[in-house]
């Protein structure tokens, strides 16, 4: 079986972060003995260009990662000035990359696009010319956040309608996608978790620590978390709150901690490697992230896989997997409820079974199980 992935972003030698979850899925599929290739047209944000002027140069590269060939075109995103720029630039350059790819590796049997806008739209254009079936996995919370304009929604709907199937990563996202397509083939296939990497370490001595991880942006709710922690800090004086990640809200969050007189109890370690994330999870007694929107919530699942009970919010994704055996769900923006949930977990740690928590993730979200679900769908759509 030969499947080509189209992505808005994919890791390269300069950065391992953009599209990392797509790469992890691609690797898992390759391990199922599927021939995998990737094409990606990446539009760079203006703020990155200001910080790193060398990125302004448009470039096309071909490279291999984990024995997977990647054809990448990158350019400055002119959307702020030319509203229709992505609609023409991304499909046109995706088609050019596709033709270069098939010249070397042959025509794929199926295209798997990640995100309806604009990778899904590009897959549709390739389908129109080459009649190759395509499916789309939708990940974005933009539907819930209502960040798409009418022009973008029409493009997404068109790509959805002509696809062989649409995958969403949660039931909440499925409801939003259904509103924007006539296609009845909408299925839930969640993100995969590397349960061989994220697992309990029974040799590590737990510290008095609550861990959180995410981009430091308003929608992740770290300000709510800090306020909630401030409410329970006097009752748990030995505890620290570690907030991993970086972003535009960092200085505001530091200032908030200072205002609440708990700045010495909160640690901001910045962006963390995969190993560092696992180390923090192993040492923590609770993971908390009161997001406003999550289409899935991989970080919660990684915590559960490591045997760390979580405090999450009813923000879309977590409702599918948080239960009384692995954590507590709270209403978004409810500071008192989130504070009570963290304290409740810390006071009842013995009620959470680390081994059972990991087994739950392994049964339902391991890369072996999720990749097999994808393989089954691929086979079905290739047969027509």
Please provide residue 154's backbone torsions phi and psi, each rounded to the nearest 5 degrees.
-65, -40
pLDDT tens, residue by residue, 220-268: 999 999 999 999 999 999 999 999 999 999 999 999 999 999 999 999 9
Per-residue pLDDT, averaged over 9-24, amounts to: 85
> Among 176, 116, 187, 183, which Cα is nearest to 146's?
176
Sequence-ordered alpha helix ranges (H) in 163-221: 171-178
Torsion, Cα 62 64 65 67, to 10 degrees, reads 150
Q: Where are the domains of the chain?
A: 2-192+366-383, 209-364
pLDDT tier for residue 49 given thresholds of 50, 70 and 90: very low
Give whole-number Cα distances, 126 to 110, 308, 383, in Å.
11, 44, 19
pLDDT tens, residue by residue, 296-350: 999 999 999 999 999 999 999 999 999 999 999 999 999 999 999 999 999 999 9
Instruction: Report the chain's mean pLDDT, rounded to a whole number.
Output: 92
pLDDT tens, residue by residue, 115-148: 998 999 999 999 999 999 999 999 987 776 777 8
**CB neighbours (10 Å) of residue 68?**
18
Distance CA 209, CA 187 (A): 38
> Tell me, which fold does domain 209-364 have in CATH?
Rossmann fold (3.40.50)
Per-residue pLDDT, averaged over 85-109, amounts to: 93
Torsion, Cα 82 86 87 89, to 10 degrees, reads 100
The answer to whether the peptide bond before residue 282 is cis (omega within 30 degrees of 0) is no
Task: Give the Cα-Cα-Cα angle 294, 330, 229 (nearest 5 degrees).
Answer: 100
**In CATH, what number does 2-192+366-383 get?**
3.40.50.2000
Pull the structure tokens for residue 163: 């696809």
Q: What does the H/E/C string look like for 7-66? A: ECCCCCCCCCCCCHHHHHHHHHHHCCCCEEEEEEEEEECHHHHHHCHHHHCCEEEEEEEC
* 201 pLDDT above the threshold of 50: yes
**CB neighbours (10 Å) of residue 352?**
20
> Among 162, 166, 177, which Cα is nearest to 112's?
166
- Alpha carbon 250 to its chain centroid, in Å, reads 21
Distance CA 271, CA 247 (A): 9
* 14 pLDDT above the threshold of 70: yes
Q: What is the CA radius of gyration of the chain?
A: 22
In sequence order, the 6+-apart residues with CB closer than 8 A to the CB of 76 are 43, 44, 46, 49, 55, 56, 58
Category of 33 on φ-ψ map: left (φ > 0), alpha (ψ -120 to 50) or beta: left
pLDDT tier for residue 45 given thresholds of 50, 70 and 90: low
SS3 content of the chain, % helix, strand, coil (to 5): 45, 20, 35
Given a contact cutoff of 8 angstroms between Cβ atoms, the answer to whether 314 and 331 are in contact is yes
> Among 198, 217, 234, which Cα is nearest to 310's?
198
Give whole-number Cα distances, 162 to 90, 120, 239, 309, in Å.
18, 10, 53, 41
């Amino acid at each position: 079986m030969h499947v080509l992935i189209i992505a808005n972003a994919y890791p390269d030698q300069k950065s391992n972060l953009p599209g990392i979850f797509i790469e992890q899925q691609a690797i898992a599929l390759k391990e199922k003995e599927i021939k995998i290739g990737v094409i990606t047209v990446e539009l760079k944000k203006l703020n990155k260009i200001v910080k790193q002027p060398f990125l302004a140069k448009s470039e096309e590269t071909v490279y291999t990662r984990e024995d997977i060939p990647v054809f990448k075109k990158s350019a400055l995103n002119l959307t702020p000035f030319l509203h229709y720029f992505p609609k023409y630039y991304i499909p046109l350059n995706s088609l050019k990359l596709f033709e270069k790819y098939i010249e070397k590796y042959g025509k794929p049997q199926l295209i798997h696009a990640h995100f309806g806008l604009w990778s899904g739209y590009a897959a549709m254009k390739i389908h129109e010319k080459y009649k190759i079936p395509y499916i789309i996995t939708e990940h974005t919370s933009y539907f819930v956040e209502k960040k798409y304009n009418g022009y973008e929604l029409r493009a997404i709907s068109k790509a959805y309608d002509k696809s062989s199937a649409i995958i969403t990563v949660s039931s909440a996202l499925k409801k939003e996608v259904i509103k924007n397509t006539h296609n009845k083939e909408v299925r839930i296939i969640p993100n995969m978790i590397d349960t061989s990497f994220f697992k309990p370490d029974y040799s590590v001595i737990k510290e008095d620590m609550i861990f959180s991880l995410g981009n430091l942006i308003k929608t992740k709710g770290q300000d709510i978390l800090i306020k909630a922690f401030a409410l329970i800090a006097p009752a748990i004086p030995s505890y620290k709150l570690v907030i991993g990640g970086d972003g535009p809200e960092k200085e505001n969050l530091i200032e908030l901690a200072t205002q609440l007189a708990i700045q010495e109890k909160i640690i901001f370690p910045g962006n963390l490697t995969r190993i560092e994330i696992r180390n923090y999870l192993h040492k923590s007694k609770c993971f908390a992230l009161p997001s406003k929107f999550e289409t899935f919530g991989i970080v919660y699942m990684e915590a559960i896989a490591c045997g760390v009970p979580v405090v999450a919010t009813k923000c879309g994704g977590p409702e599918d997997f948080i239960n009384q055996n692995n954590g507590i769900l709270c209403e978004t923006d409810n500071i008192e409820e989130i504070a009570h949930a963290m304290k409740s977990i810390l006071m009842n740690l013995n009620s959470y079974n680390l081994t059972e928590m990991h087994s739950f993730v392994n049964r339902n979200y391991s890369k072996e199980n999720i990749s097999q679900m994808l393989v089954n769908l691929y086979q079905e759509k290739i047969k027509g």
